Structure 1
Amino acid sequence: MTPTLYDWMGGAPAIRKLLDTFYARVREDEVLAPVFAGMSPEHPAHVAAWLGEVFGGPAEYSARRGGHQHMAGRHLGRAITERQRHRWVELLLETADEIGVPADPEFRAAFVGYLEWGSRMAVVLSAPGVEPPGPGPMPSWDWILPPYQPGQP
């Protein structure tokens, strides 16, 4: 049976470590610090719950924070630029490499695919005049190709 991206990545502890480390770096980043100047201390935990759920983990974000509609609403009116979006992805991937997030091609293809899609959605939702979305399903991300494991064809 193919594990979820959540399990392959190392579950809640690995996702939390990634986002705690990443958001500590965001505070010092000249491009991203202004975007996250008002970030609450709980922000990394909220994003970790979101990413965990999207990658097949427990539905913690939906249960505690309101799911996709809530996350989408958090981006409204923020006017995120392409430079900020790109830097967010770049710094998150640098952090993933540094803390040992799995680097196998199949996982990274799915991981980067989600970061690109999700960050581009954040830009779209943050544009001036965008109306809040109604209720909708939580995004669910999975493997593009099943993970390669030695001994498999």
Structure 2
Amino acid sequence: MRPTLYEFAGGRPAFRALARAHHLRCLADPELNHPFSRPDQHPQHTERLADYWAEVLGGPPHFSRACGGHTDVLVLHGGNGDISDLGRRFVRCFVAALDDAGLPADPEFRTAVRAYMEWAVADVLAHEEPAAVPAGLPMPRWGWNGLQ
């Protein structure tokens, strides 16, 4: 049986390393720096982000148990206007952070997780109005072949 993307990546430690590397890349980006350096950012932001990505990519439900579900994520990140350039930058930082964190260089794995991140950014951009986000959206599940 094929492992989940979460398992293939190396589990929770791999996602923690990825979230830290991604955060550093975003801080270094002149446009992404502002939203990633806000003083009101949650002190466990990178850990929560790691748990969210891990859960979506086949890991345990640490994020949804502690922080809510997909609706909460969309409401939190919605309402920022046209941020498509920030979305592209976010994806570039994510892809580069895969190397920084030492995640597998396997082309199929990289294609799958990049496709997830592109989908996730588009999903956030599609929900510009936080008040219009439907309640109770299930956590997305992403596998080797995309959204499940």
**Partners in 1 of 2:100 and 2:62 — Cα distance?**
27
TM-score, scaled relative to structure 1:
0.86
Give 1:129 deviation, angstroms.
7.0
**Partners in 1 of 2:67 and 2:144 — Cα distance?**
26
Q: Which residue of 1 aligns with 2:116?
A: 114
**Partners in 2 of 1:71 and 1:20 — Cα distance?**
19
Give 1:60 deviation, angstroms.
0.8
Q: Is 1:144 paired with 2:148? A: no
Query: Is the deviation greater in 65-74 or in 75-84?
Result: 75-84
**Partners in 2 of 1:87 and 1:72 — Cα distance?**
19
Task: Indicate the SS of the match to 1:79.
Answer: coil
Structure-to-structure mapping, 1:1-153, within 5 angstroms? 1-38=1-38, 39-125=41-127, 127-128=128-129, 131-144=132-145
The aligned length equals 144
Whether contact under 8 Å (1:109, 1:144) holds in the other structure is no
Give 1:128 deviation, angstroms.
4.8
What fraction of aligned residue pairs are identical, expressed as a percent?
Answer: 35
Query: Is the deviation greater in 85-94 or in 33-42?
Result: 33-42
Whether contact under 8 Å (2:71, 2:137) holds in the other structure is yes
Give 1:104 deviation, angstroms.
1.1
- Gaps (5+ residues) in structure 1? 146-153
Q: Which amino acid in the other structure matches residue 35 of structure 1?
A: P
Structure 1 consecutive aligned stretches of length 4 or more whose deviation exceeds 3 Å? none
The structure whose residues are more often helix, as a share, is 2
Give 1:40 deviation, angstroms.
2.6
- Cα RMSD after superposing both structures: 1.7
Deviations 1:72-112 (A, max 9, x none): 11112122511100000001111112332111121112101
Q: Which amino acid in the other structure matches residue 4 of structure 1?
A: T
**Partners in 2 of 1:59 and 1:12 — Cα distance?**
11
**Partners in 1 of 2:75 and 2:137 — Cα distance?**
12
Whether contact under 8 Å (1:73, 1:133) holds in the other structure is no
